[in-house]
Amino acid sequence: MAVAKFVAALLLALIAVSLLQSMVMASHGHGGHHYGDQISAQSNLFDCGQKLRSHPLFLRLAVLHFSCHFAYLVSVLDKCPSQCTRRCSKTQYHKPCMFYCQKCCKKCLCVPPGYYGNKAVCPCYNNWKTKEGGPKCP
């Protein structure tokens, strides 16, 4: 839950910075669309990339793009405790199972279905090994 709050605060900060940059650029006469600024055929790709990166619209699109990834990550991480509770409900070693299951869920972003096995569904979960070569994830 703390991760979700951190990600939400980070997204809010990114959006605020984006809006402030837009307002500052607009107040200095740099806002809006510049239809007269044509990129010449002789300009290289680096110059084009620089123009796109300096535009507030690019920043807004980047924030939107990364916020989608953060939202997905937060939704998966919020499901880890419930998925691990299900996965570890039938074992006699509940505490260690929950500890390692949540660790694996946070790294792999998935928990295999069922109480045991089915690790092929989640390759990262299946392939993460201990120093001795045994399975790390329950």
Per-residue pLDDT of the chain (138 residues; tens, 9 = 90+): 566 677 677 767 767 666 656 555 555 554 444 444 333 334 343 444 444 455 566 666 666 556 555 555 555 557 888 989 999 999 999 999 999 999 998 888 888 998 888 888 888 888 988 899 998 889
Q: Is the dihedral of CA 47, 49, 51, 54 positive or negative?
A: negative
In this prediction, residue 96 carries a pLDDT of 95
In this prediction, residue 122 carries a pLDDT of 87
Tokens found for residue 128 = 């993460």
The closest of 138, 130, 71 to 111, measured between CA atoms, is: 138
In this prediction, residue 32 carries a pLDDT of 46
Indicate yes or no: pTM above 0.75: no
Contact 126, 119 (CB under 8 A): yes
In this prediction, residue 9 carries a pLDDT of 72
In this prediction, residue 35 carries a pLDDT of 41
The amino acid at 111: V
In this prediction, residue 39 carries a pLDDT of 36
